[in-house]
Chain A
């Protein structure tokens, strides 16, 4: 079991509110992403779970036990830091063995467990290197090994992929996911990248302004964004003021016609992406919308810039947004 729950958790820095009374139950043994723009309180939330930040109000509950007053090492969590925080004066092996050494594990057992862990993350042949002699991806694996050797119930990852180049990011993303299902523990991953959250998680928690906006599976959230913020932050959605209500329509379900539609607009940009073409249109009030259509559909009867078109969608694809 590694059932993590936040109960009315807040974090204040003086009068500033970083996290405002959030309550949520995370999936057991799931891959969870805390998604939000910078300054939304997601990192503070993670650090409160880790024990590196005091909980101002509320409780962090793991398997029915309030861990919010425990020191970090006794919580059953382990943290992987954004910049990896590897000890620069220790070899990879010593870095990974650090927590075992602190616990007083015998040298031979340390060696054995470290080798096994380095094997798991694919760093066996680098055990004698210093962190500065490793590439970004290898440093990350080392940091991962150091966190996992404590046998945590929950692994906390603070923007783990942000320091990597885009190619490596996609590769490490797959590896994190694989590791999570192999180990069968909960991963709590903080990110500001929608792609990352969509690709990795089975539960996304979208945060903004110190509050949770929405949580659910990626598909749930993508198909039913509840607030304007979520629809806009996820991208790929058009937020439209339509007949007294605010609705969101996915841009791939947002169509354009040459005659008759819900409202009139003008094409102001066309971008070709290979598998699709994204047409950007502007209505009379200056609102901008995106229509994503398959390549073949577009080139069947291509639109041109400046052309007047009409926006259409099926009622079933229009999701009503809560007004905040």
Chain B
């Protein structure tokens, strides 16, 4: 009886989180998966159990090109944000000694996040445009004769916006793990004769792995699922998985959108589980 009561109270205690997770994660995923098997015509969708959506998706050449383009962005943005984020975190953690300055620098990093990311993204457009600030300055400085075309509505601008939006997601977890590194470890390494580079490679990077991994999960998940940045910054000239889904939705092709979403979700889940294989992040959580 007592055991039963204990079980009931545990279940009751866990119920809020179970309810929240079911309502916002499990039920939607089940719905999306279910709808992905439905059938559709130009003007209607109907419940069914068909593999048409998947067949169309997985046999189309466009899907693969878009899929690899998405992957390409994810890897590229991941690499750039990793290098940038690690550098910023390293500087903040080891070269800014006073707490006040650390807080000031951190605020400088976070304050831009008080505005909508759409606004931050769009603000690049007048800067990078044909007659934008960047081109005008380049021309006036005599570096180029005519406006540089690839600054806006290109892979470059998409990447730039991604990096701008997501570097902080790399900085914060890496900074967090760096701050937990006992400073005497660095002294011990120096005592053993290690140079700054050797300390970085042998001590700091290995100890930052969990932070790097958490940041990487953020960035990869965000870039893989994005559609608005690619749309705005490429001037609708570049497609990724997110845009396939959003196009389907705007054409009311929900079953097809769901099938794409399921494939995308599966890919991201596989990518993240591979990443988690390498590093145990549990002790950081």
**Pairwise interchain contact B191-A103, C-beta atoms closer than 8 A:** no
Q: Which residues of A contact B192 (CB under 8 A)?
A: 73, 98-99, 102, 146, 150
**Pairwise interchain contact A88-B207, C-beta atoms closer than 8 A:** yes
**Pairwise interchain contact A81-B187, C-beta atoms closer than 8 A:** yes
**Pairwise interchain contact B191-A83, C-beta atoms closer than 8 A:** no
B184 to chain A minimum Cβ distance, whole angstroms, is: 4
Closest to A88 in B: B207
A187 to chain B minimum Cβ distance, whole angstroms, is: 16
Measured in the bound complex, the distance between the Cα atoms of B198 and A102 in whole Å is 8
**Pairwise interchain contact B193-A52, C-beta atoms closer than 8 A:** no
Closest to B192 in A: A99
Partner of A89, one of B182, B188, B206: B206
A78 CB within 8 Å of chain B? yes
Measured in the bound complex, the distance between the Cα atoms of B190 and A150 in whole Å is 12
- With A73-B191, A150-B192 already in contact, the answer to whether A83 and B182 are too (CB < 8 A) is yes
A14 to chain B minimum Cβ distance, whole angstroms, is: 12
Partner of A52, one of B185, B191, B202, B207: B191
Number of residues of chain B lying within 8 A (CB) of chain A = 16
B239 CB within 8 Å of chain A? no
B75 CB within 8 Å of chain A? no
B262 CB within 8 Å of chain A? no
Partner of A72, one of B184, B191, B203: B191
Measured in the bound complex, the distance between the Cα atoms of B198 and A103 in whole Å is 11
Closest to B202 in A: A98
B283 to chain A minimum Cβ distance, whole angstroms, is: 10
Partner of B193, one of A79, A89, A102, A147: A102
A97 to chain B minimum Cβ distance, whole angstroms, is: 10
Chain A 71-104 interface 0/1 with B at a Cβ cutoff of 8 Å (1 = within):
1111000110111011111000000001100110
**Pairwise interchain contact B184-A85, C-beta atoms closer than 8 A:** yes
B194 CB within 8 Å of chain A? yes
Name the interface residues of B166-198: CB closer than 8 Å to any CB of A: 182, 184-185, 187-194, 198
Number of residues of chain A lying within 8 A (CB) of chain B = 24
Q: Which residues of B contact A146 (CB under 8 A)?
A: 188, 192
Q: Which residues of B contact A74 (CB under 8 A)?
A: 193
Q: Which residues of B contact A98 (CB under 8 A)?
A: 189, 192, 194, 202
A-B contact count (CB 8 A): 59
- With A52-B187, A81-B187, A81-B188 already in contact, the answer to whether A87 and B194 are too (CB < 8 A) is no
**Pairwise interchain contact A73-B207, C-beta atoms closer than 8 A:** no
Q: Which residues of B contact A85 (CB under 8 A)?
A: 182, 184-185, 187-188
Measured in the bound complex, the distance between the Cα atoms of B193 and A275 in whole Å is 50
A293 CB within 8 Å of chain B? no
A50 CB within 8 Å of chain B? yes
Name the interface residues of B186-235: CB closer than 8 Å to any CB of A: 187-194, 198, 202-203, 206-207
Measured in the bound complex, the distance between the Cα atoms of B184 and A72 in whole Å is 13
Measured in the bound complex, the distance between the Cα atoms of B168 and A83 in whole Å is 33
Closest to B198 in A: A102
Q: Which residues of A contact B190 (CB under 8 A)?
A: 52, 71-73
Measured in the bound complex, the distance between the Cα atoms of B261 and A230 in whole Å is 77
Q: Which residues of B contact A83 (CB under 8 A)?
A: 182, 184
Q: Which residues of B contact A82 (CB under 8 A)?
A: 184
Q: Which residues of A contact B207 (CB under 8 A)?
A: 88-89
Measured in the bound complex, the distance between the Cα atoms of B188 and A88 in whole Å is 12
B174 to chain A minimum Cβ distance, whole angstroms, is: 16
Q: Which residues of B contact A86 (CB under 8 A)?
A: 188
Measured in the bound complex, the distance between the Cα atoms of B227 and A303 in whole Å is 91
Other than the given A83-B182, A98-B202, 7 more pairs (CB < 8 A) read A52-B191, A73-B192, A78-B191, A87-B185, A102-B192, A102-B193, A147-B191
Chain A residues engaging chain B, CB cutoff 8 angstroms: 50-52, 71-74, 78-79, 81-83, 85-89, 98-99, 102-103, 146-147, 150
Between-chain CB contacts (< 8 Å), 29 pairs: A50-B191, A51-B191, A52-B190, A71-B190, A71-B193, A72-B187, A72-B190, A72-B191, A73-B190, A73-B192, A78-B191, A79-B188, A81-B184, A81-B187, A81-B188, A82-B184, A83-B184, A85-B182, A85-B188, A86-B188, A87-B188, A87-B203, A89-B207, A98-B194, A99-B191, A99-B192, A146-B188, A146-B192, A147-B191
